[in-house]
Structures are given as structure tokens and as C-alpha cells.
Amino acid sequence: MAKNTHLPALDKKSSRFFRFYTTLCWILILACVFGWIYLYKTLNSYEASLPATYADAIVKEIEDHHYSSLVGLSEYDLDALKSHISVYGMRFAEKKELSREKGDYTYRVSSQGMPLFSFTLTPDGADWKTVSASVEKAVVDEYTNTISIRQAELVADCISSGDYSALYSVFEPTGYVDDSAESLEAFMKDKKPARDSISFAVKDSDGKRVYDIVTENSLFARVTLSEVSESQWQIDSFALSDSLKNAYALFLADQNAAHILTMLQNAESESLYPICIANGYPEADLNRFDALIRSVPSIGSATCSLFENSDASSRSYLISTEDKRIASFTLATRPAGDMKMWAVSSFELPIWKPFEGTVTAPACFTVTVDGKTLGANDEISRSVPKNIDRVLTEKASDMVTEVTYRIKSAFPPETMQAIRADGAAGVYTAISDREFRFDLPTADDRYKDELNDFLVEFSQAWGRFSMNDTPYAEMVKYVEQLSTAYIYIYGGDYAWIKDHYEDKTSFANFKAEHFIEYAEDIVSCDISYDMTVVYVAGDTVETYSPAYRIFLRKTQDQWKVFSFNTIAE
């Protein structure tokens, strides 16, 4: 009989206990698993929340204007951030983890939708710390603009207040010289627009920032800035508008003129010595300058007035009392930066007028001025009158050679004299107030009697001939080639001239005068007359008044015309 190998069957009570025990074990196992999972996630969540907590704390500090947590920022970037936050405020509108490589956490902070700055955290033991920070370019650019605007606003503040002292260092390098700030303040004292009426129009040019200061829709001034370093802008130039600039230039001219008047009134004329010397007043005679000024008893009441012929680039002034002209001067513009500046271009003292002029006389004369004989030091040129040296004898040529001297003295000459070696005195002629000449003594009337009829016929023929539109150079050449006056009067084109003009020309006031004898056979005289012409083409009437010096030479008892020169009116 075989053995029974099966285990004995559990009773129902034992079976229930086994199932309960097994279920409990699984429950405990699952509880442990889920517990560990929860604990792991909790720890990870806590670890992940730490940098965000630190980030919140950093942002809170910055909201309270504490920036010590940000590291790695330049002073300029930090100033830019502080400036922006102080002006606009800042809230932690957005934070975003940008990367989590090697445990680094980077956060970007925005304010009102505008990115401001970012910073990166890294674990530091049980804590976190910032390792780097950066400010957005838009914030830095806005800060740069703010600084430059403040410089422009400084100029606007000066304009509205009328106090330009803060800009003194700007004026001279930009052309506003000659006590510019004081002058500009004086000019602008009644031109002070309200500060709230000033607006700015900005534009960039060649790396510089240009601000147009506009008042009431019109340009008032322009300021140009350049960035010389971080957070520092320099005013390169300050320029008034064109209309104000021109008005200011005229104001400066009048102010300079008033300054000259003040120097004369206060006996400070030494300051004017360089001007006097430059305008022809001999340095050796300046000791008389002050005495002459002091000799005007009413100098204190003198006024400075503008001449009517002044314009924008030249201003002429007269300093005078009720009965005396003391000084006159002209200011002319010269460039100076962006401005027109003024310098004395001429200066005269009617009460003491230095003299510089010329005197011309034949070489055979000895010329004296105020008793002083003019010599080699005064001689400036020798010349022979045009065309004469070709036909005169050697003796006559030497006689008519002219010498021109330059005269300089403190006053116009009182006496001038020219004496020929044989004792004959020269004939003095004033060409202008600074140009004089001596001619040979006037010949006796025998030449006038001998030549008068000839000269009348010559002049009438010449007058008619000149109506033929012949070029002047050709007419001179024609006359120079004449062998005798007879050929000139009755030859050549005279027949044509006579047919066209004989009854249509008239002569009046004929004069032949100033006969000068260079030698017995060489004579000159001055001819003038009035000639009226009625042209054939119509009723046009023209009157001519020619004047010329004619030179004649006598050959075989016959006078010949060999040259003539027009006498300038």
C-alpha cells in the first residue's frame, strides 16, 4: 500500500490569516515606495525653490534701491540701472529660468514689459549667490540719452534765466569771444523765453548729438554734444539761430564802438596806439595824441553814431560832439568760429590827420616840403612821360624826366616849393588831398598867340574824328604818325568827317592854357572845350567835354604834333 505525500490541508482559519499577512506586507511595501517618492519630490521642490527665493529677495532689494547683490556690473551700467529705476520704478513683472546647466540659474527682470537686467545664481553651500549680472542695452541707451538731454536742458535753463555763467567755458572755443558771456547776457537780457515754452528736437550727426532749442515754433539756438567718456557729454558748440546770430553780431559791433568812445572819454587812448600806428599815424607823434584828445573840452559829452553807409559786414562810426568831429573808424568782420567778429579796419582822427602822399616834379627841380629838401630817401620812382622820350633831344629828355617822392608827416604839408636851377619856380598842382605835382614854369604868351589858331582847328578836327567810333588806341596811333598838323586837319578821312558832321557840330568854351616850355622848340599845353553833336540818325544830342595835354615840336619853323595824353577829370 502506497504512502500519502500531500501536506495536510489548512483549515479555513489559517488560510484567512495568510492572505491578510500577505496583503499587509504589500501595503507596507507600497507605502514605503510612495513615501520615498513623495519625500524625494518634496526635497527636490524645496531645492528648486531656493534660487527663486533668492531671486525674489534680490529683486526686492533692488526695488528698495539696494544693489549690493548684483556683481560684475560696470559703474556706468549700474548708474544706468539706478537712473532708470529711480525715474520709472520697477516691479518683478517676469522671471524666467533661461538655463540650468551645471546648476546655474539665470533670471531676467522686466519692468512694465521692458527688459531691464539679468543675473545668474549658483549654489554656495546651503545658500545661493550671484556670480554675474548684466544690464540690457536699451536701459544703457536710455541713460545715455538722459545724460545728453540734461546737458541740453542746462543750456535751455541758462536761456530762460538769462544767466549764461554756466556756459562761459563753452563760448570761447565756439566763437563767442571778447567777453562773450557778458556780451551775450547783455544782448539776451530782453530775450528770455519761459522755460516751459522751450522744446527740443534731437538728431544725430557724425557721432554727435545735436539739439535744436525751439521756442514758439521757431529755432532759438542749437547745441551740439559729443560723448567724451562713459556718462560724460561735452558741449562742442552753441550757436544762436541765424536771425539772432546776425543781430548779435551787429550788437557786438556797436558795443566795440562804444568801448572805443569810452577809452577816448577816459583818457585811455594808449590802448588805441596800435590801431593808430596801423592806420598811418607815426609812432613818434603819438605823444601828441592824448593832448589833442584832451584839447576837446566837451569830450565827455561826445556820442558815437553809425554812418548811413554801413552794412552787415562793415560798420562805420563817427565820434563827435556838437561842434567837432573827434574820430571816425570802420569795423569789418572777420571769421571766428561760428560767429562774425569785428576788427578795426580804418581809424582817423579829423582833429589830427596824419599825412602820407606823393609829390611829382621834373628831375631838374629841387623840391622842398616845409623847408625840408626831398632827397634820395624820399625818392620812389623816375620816369619819362609816355611817348616823349622817343622824339625829344637828350637835353629836353633830361629836362622832362619826372621824379615822384613819398611824403610822410604828422600833418599835411603847409608849404611846398620847387625851384629850377636857373631860379624859375615850379607850378604847383593838387591832384587830390594826398597827391601833388610840380610842372615846369608856364611859358610866356607868345606861344599862345603863335599857336592859338592852329590849336582851334586841330581840336575841331580831332573832335569830329573821335565821333567815328574809332578805337581809342587806333586814334592815338593815327595822331602819333602825323608829320604836321596840316596833314592831320586836311588829310586822311577828314573829307568824310566834313561831309557827315560839318553842320552838325558846334564848339564852345575853347581853352588853350598852361603852356609849358621844355625847350625853345618843345612846348606843351592843355586843351579843353565843349562839343555838341546832333547825330544824323535822329534827334539825339550829345555834349562832350574833352580835355587833353598836347605836345608839339618845332621843326624847320613848323610845329608838329607828336603826342598827347588825355587829362583825367
Q: How far apart are CA 239 and CA 176, in angstroms?
A: 9
Specify whether the CB–CB gap between 462 and 566 falls below 8 A.
Answer: no
**Which residues, in sequence order, are CB contacts of 57 under 8 Å at separation 6+?**
69
Question: What is the reported pLDDT for 504?
Answer: 61
Encode pLDDT of 136-173 as tens digits. 888 877 777 777 777 777 777 777 777 766 666 656 55
Do 375 and 451 fall within a single domain?
Answer: no
Q: How far apart are CA 280 and CA 348, in angstroms?
A: 9
Using the predicted structure, report yes or no on whether residue 68 has a pLDDT greater than 50.
yes
Amino acid letter, residue 66: H
Using the predicted structure, report yes or no on whether residue 36 has a pLDDT greater than 80.
no
Using the predicted structure, report yes or no on whether residue 38 has a pLDDT greater than 80.
no
Amino acid letter, residue 437: R
Question: At which of 348, 376, 409 does a domain end?
Answer: 348
The HSE-up count of residue 144 (CA atoms within 13 Å, CB side) is: 15
Of the two residues 534 and 147, the one the predictor is more confident about is 147
Residues pairing with 419 in the sheet? 366, 425
Question: What is the reported pLDDT for 485?
Answer: 34
Encode pLDDT of 107-144 as tens digits. 788 777 778 888 888 777 767 777 788 888 888 777 77
How many residues does this entry show for the chain? 569
What pTM value is reported for the model? Answer: 0.41
In a domain, 2, yes or no: no
Encode pLDDT of 418-436 as tens digits. 998 888 888 888 888 888 9
In a domain, 27, yes or no: no
Question: At which of 240, 267, 299 does a domain end?
Answer: 240
**Mean of the per-residue pLDDT values of the chain:** 72
Alpha helices in 380-468 (DSSP H): 394-400, 446-466
The residue with cell 596833314 is: 487
Q: Is 203 left (phi over 0), alpha (psi -120 to 50) or beta?
A: beta
Question: What is the reported pLDDT for 173?
Answer: 54
231-252: average pLDDT: 77
Question: What is the reported pLDDT for 336?
Answer: 63
In a domain, 422, yes or no: yes
Please name which of 395, 415, 399 lies closest in space to residue 407, comparing C-alpha atoms: 415
Question: At which of 413, 439, 465 does a domain end?
Answer: 439
Question: What is the reported pLDDT for 492?
Answer: 40
With vertex at residue 420, the alpha carbon angle to CA 416 and CA 423, rounded to the nearest 5 degrees, is: 100
Do 414 and 489 fall within a single domain?
Answer: no
Helix, strand or coil for residue 195?
A: helix
For the chain, give the longest Cα–Cα distance: 207
Do 427 and 484 fall within a single domain?
Answer: no
Encode pLDDT of 316-355 as tens digits. 898 888 877 888 888 888 766 656 678 888 888 777 666 7
Alpha helices in 64-136 (DSSP H): 75-88
Helix, strand or coil for residue 70?
A: coil
pLDDT tier for residue 484 given thresholds of 50, 70 and 90: very low
Do 60 and 91 fall within a single domain?
Answer: yes
Q: Is the dihedral of CA 181, 184, 190, 195 positive or negative?
A: negative
Question: What is the reported pLDDT for 18?
Answer: 64
Question: What is the reported pLDDT for 465?
Answer: 57
Q: How far apart are CA 169 and CA 174, in angstroms?
A: 9
> In CATH, what number is assigned to the domain containing residue 156?
3.10.450
Of the two residues 382 and 13, the one the predictor is more confident about is 382
- Can you state the percent helix, strand and coil of the chain, rounding each to 5? 40, 35, 30
Of the two residues 265 and 470, the one the predictor is more confident about is 265
Per the structure, the count of domains in the chain is: 5
Question: What is the reported pLDDT for 367?
Answer: 93
Residue 383's domain comprises 355-439
Report residue 73 CA to chain centroid gap.
Answer: 47
Q: How far apart are CA 140 and CA 143, in angstroms?
A: 5
* Tally of CB atoms within 10 A around 425: 12
289-306: average pLDDT: 77
